[in-house]
C-alpha cells in the first residue's frame, strides 16, 4: 500500500524538528497511511516574545523557535487574538511552502497545527482561487486552526468557499486556540470533516481517533493505490 505524502506545517514557537517530535504518536498511529514531511518557518522568534500563543516544544534543548508571521510588526511577536491592520512575514512563509512543494514534493496533502493550520487555510484559499500554480494538494488537515485577525489577511476568507476536502481537529479544552476560534473557519470549508477531542492544544493520536483519520484518508489512499497498480501494469 502506497503512503500518502503530507507536508507538515508546525505551530508558532516550534520548528520542523520539534513538530516531528510532537507528532510521533500520530506517525505511529497512521504509519500505514502517511509519510509526514516537515518544514520550518522562515522567521526566528525572539526569546522575549511572551505572546499568548505559546507552543514552545517541551524539549528543553529546542532553541530553534520559529513563526510563520507576526501580528505585532514592531515587536515581531504573535498573538492569534490580536487584531491588526498589517502583519510581517506572511509572503516569505508562503514562498517557503512553494519551495517545499518544488524541492520535497509532490505531496498528496498538507497538515498544519495552530498558526501552521491558519497558514494552511490560506494556502487552501490560494489553491481554490487558482492563484498559486505550485499548490495542488488533494486534502488538508487543520489542527487547532483559526482565522487570522489581521485585516490584511481577510482576502483569504471573504466570499470564498474552499472545495478541497479537509479534516478539522478541535480540542474542547484548548486554552490557546479555543474550539470556537477553530470553528470560525468552517464556513469557508463546506466539505469539512470534524474530529473533536476532550483535550487541549495538541494533535490527538489515541487509538480512539484512528478510525476518523482513516475514514477521511481512505478515498485518497485508494486513488494512490490505483495509480500505483496502473503504473506497474
Total residues belonging to the chain: 233
pLDDT at 59 over 50: no
Rg of the chain over all Cα atoms, to the nearest angstrom: 17
- pLDDT reported for residue 110: 98
- pTM of this prediction exceeds 0.85: yes
pLDDT band at 205 (very low <50, low <70, confident <90, very high): very high
- Run of H or E including 228: helix 210-232
Residue with cell 505550485: 134
Quick check: helix, strand or coil at residue 38?
A: strand
Q: Name the average pLDDT for the chain.
A: 90
Q: What would the mean pLDDT of 120-144 be, rounded to a whole number?
A: 95
Catalytic residue ranges: 114, 174, 201
pLDDT digits (tens, 9 = 90+) for 144-198: 999 999 999 999 999 899 999 999 999 999 999 999 999 999 999 998 999 999 9
Residue 69, C-alpha cell as written in the block: 508571521
Cβ pair 128, 159 in contact under 8 A: no
| Cβ atoms 42, 143 nearer than 8 A | no
Q: What is the mean pLDDT of residues 22-43?
A: 96
Residue 52 has pLDDT above 70, yes or no: no
- pLDDT-based confidence at 221, cuts 50/70/90? confident
Q: What is the pLDDT of residue 231?
A: 46
| 56 vs 79, higher pLDDT | 79
**Which segments within 90-165 are labelled E, that is strand?**
109-113, 139-143
Residue 60, pLDDT score = 38
Confidence of residue 230 (pLDDT cuts 50, 70, 90): very low
The closest of 103, 108, 88, 104 to 42, measured between CA atoms, is: 88
Amino acid at each position: 500500500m502506497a503512503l500518502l505524502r503530507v507536508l507538515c506545517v508546525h505551530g508558532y514557537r516550534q520548528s520542523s524538528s520539534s513538530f516531528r517530535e510532537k507528532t510521533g504518536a500520530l506517525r505511529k498511529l497512521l504509519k500505514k497511511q502517511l509519510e509526514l514531511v516537515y518544514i520550518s518557518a522562515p522567521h526566528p522568534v525572539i526569546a522575549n516574545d511572551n505572546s499568548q500563543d505559546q507552543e514552545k516544544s517541551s524539549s528543553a534543548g529546542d532553541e530553534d523557535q520559529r513563526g510563520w508571521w507576526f501580528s505585532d510588526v514592531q515587536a515581531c511577536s504573535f498573538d492569534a487574538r490580536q487584531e491588526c491592520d498589517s502583519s510581517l512575514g506572511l509572503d516569505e512563509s508562503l514562498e517557503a511552502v512553494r519551495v517545499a512543494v518544488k524541492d520535497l514534493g509532490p505531496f498528496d496533502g498538507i497538515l498544519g497545527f495552530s498558526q501552521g493550520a491558519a497558514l494552511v487555510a490560506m494556502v487552501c484559499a490560494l489553491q481554490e482561487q487558482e492563484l498559486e500554480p505550485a499548490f495542488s494538494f488533494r486534502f488538508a488537515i487543520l489542527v487547532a486552526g483559526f482565522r487570522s485577525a489581521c485585516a490584511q489577511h481577510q482576502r483569504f476568507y471573504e466570499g470564498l468557499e474552499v472545495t478541497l476536502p479537509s479534516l478539522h481537529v478541535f480540542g474542547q479544552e484548548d486554552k490557546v486556540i479555543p474550539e470556537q476560534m477553530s470553528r470560525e473557519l468552517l464556513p469557508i470549508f463546506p466539505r469539512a470533516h470534524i474530529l473533536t477531542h476532550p483535550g487541549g492544544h495538541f494533535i490527538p493520536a489515541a487509538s480512539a481517533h484512528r478510525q476518523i483519520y482513516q475514514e477521511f484518508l481512505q478515498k485518497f489512499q485508494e486513488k494512490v493505490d490505483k495509480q500505483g497498480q496502473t503504473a506497474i501494469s
